[in-house]
Homo-oligomer: A and B are copies of this chain.
Amino acid sequence: MRDVSIIGVGQTEVGEHWDISLRHLGLGAVRAAMADAGVTHVDALYVGNMLSGEIAGQEHLGALIADFSGLRGIEAMKVEAACASGAAAFRVAYLSVSSGVADIVIALGIEKMTDEWGSDVTAALALAADGEYEAFLGVSFVGINALLMRRYMHEYNVRHIDFAPFSITAHENAMNNPYARFHMPVTRDRFERARMIVDPVNLLDSSPVADGAAAVVLASTDVAKTLSAAPVRIVASAVGTDALAVHDRRDPLVLDGAVISTCRAYEQAGIGPEDIDLFELHDAFGIIAALSLEAAGFAEKGRGVRLAMDGKIGITGEIPISTMGGLKARGHPIGATGIYQIVEVVQQLRGLAGKNQIPNARLGMAQNIGGSGATVITHILEAPE
């Protein structure tokens, strides 16, 4: 098992890119990451994407984007694990370099959701859930998360307003991220008055539909040292899964997939949650942020929301999350999100996070979740020496 490091990152603005095709969007991120890494060739491209077939009328993104990026001929394929597709592509890139098959590869996350060629985006997002036992019965993907949130509020005697700090913190952090979808502060009052989507999930509880692409160049640590003055080591890479349908789970309010994934990652890195300096978690909804904090060992069961209420998730808090805006405010272009998370952890570990810099960040964790918890992929990265 070869040691693997990150030598370059690139991202495009998260937004509504009606004027840019899928391939151009991918090219932008690939170019930026390769320029940052200072390389002109890579051995392989792994593309994380969920919905290009349904929404953009295009499968086969691996070869398409490899060719369009001037890399015709190289190994290329797409990897999908619903909303965790980005981290899944990064995982395969890691396996490729770790195996010794490749020395330098790119993981690209990409999604275009705002100009629909085929499916309606709400219908397409439901493909992440269990089709036969959830989606076909009419529950939307937001609906599933609303059911979870309602249950959490009931079990733990938590009010809707108690989730506000997740949204407020994410939007506050996004103010300093030029790539973020929103640059708009959220207040408790605004949060409370936001339009209801699926009770109790309202607009400011939800991450936005968006277009975006981000890319990371990985290399074996030996090769990385010859190419980069400050490679970021991957000290853990782990995947855990659970049932797709929430009603099939052991306990709807415990993300077992996240527990498995995080434990494996901690074990690989030889650390515990107390060693993590920042946590880019999957805050697609406030409820998922809360459940993630619990599954990853930062809060007891039912106490994830309390952590946010107590002000512990901000840049200067005990466990900073969503440091560049998270899914909530940087935006959630499904298959790209997992790569944006990695890019942002790298920014922090390189000390290049600007006003949002976590002082002395040494270990950063990124966790990308597919569906409402069925696939959970965790990576822990270490700052350059």
Q: Spell out A's residues near B (CB within 8 Å).
A: 1-2, 21, 23, 44, 50-51, 53-54, 56-60, 62-64, 66-67, 72-82, 88, 91-92, 95-96, 98-101, 118-119, 124, 127-132, 135-136, 237-244, 248, 256-257, 260, 370-371, 374-375
Q: Do A78 and B80 touch across chains, with their CB atoms under 8 A apart?
A: yes
* B residues in contact with A51, CB < 8 Å: 53, 59
Q: Do A77 and B76 touch across chains, with their CB atoms under 8 A apart?
A: no
Residue in A21, A53, A60, A67 whose Cβ sees the most chain B Cβ within 10 Å: A60
A62-B81, A63-B370, A67-B243 are known contacts; what are 13 more A-B pairs with Cβ within 8 Å? A53-B54, A56-B131, A60-B371, A62-B80, A63-B375, A67-B374, A73-B257, A74-B241, A75-B241, A78-B79, A92-B92, A95-B95, A95-B101
Count the copies.
2
A64 to chain B, nearest CB (A): 5
Q: Do B63 and A242 touch across chains, with their CB atoms under 8 A apart?
A: yes
Q: Do B92 and A58 touch across chains, with their CB atoms under 8 A apart?
A: no
A244 to chain B, nearest CB (A): 5
Q: A77-B79, A239-B75 are in contact. Are A60 and B375 (CB under 8 A)?
A: yes
* B residues in contact with A59, CB < 8 Å: 50-51, 80, 82, 127-128
- Can you give 18 A-B contacts (C-beta < 8 A)? A1-B101, A56-B131, A57-B131, A58-B130, A60-B244, A60-B371, A62-B241, A64-B130, A72-B243, A73-B260, A75-B239, A76-B239, A77-B81, A77-B375, A78-B81, A92-B92, A95-B95, A95-B101
Give the CA-CA distance A135 to B57 in the complex, in Å: 9
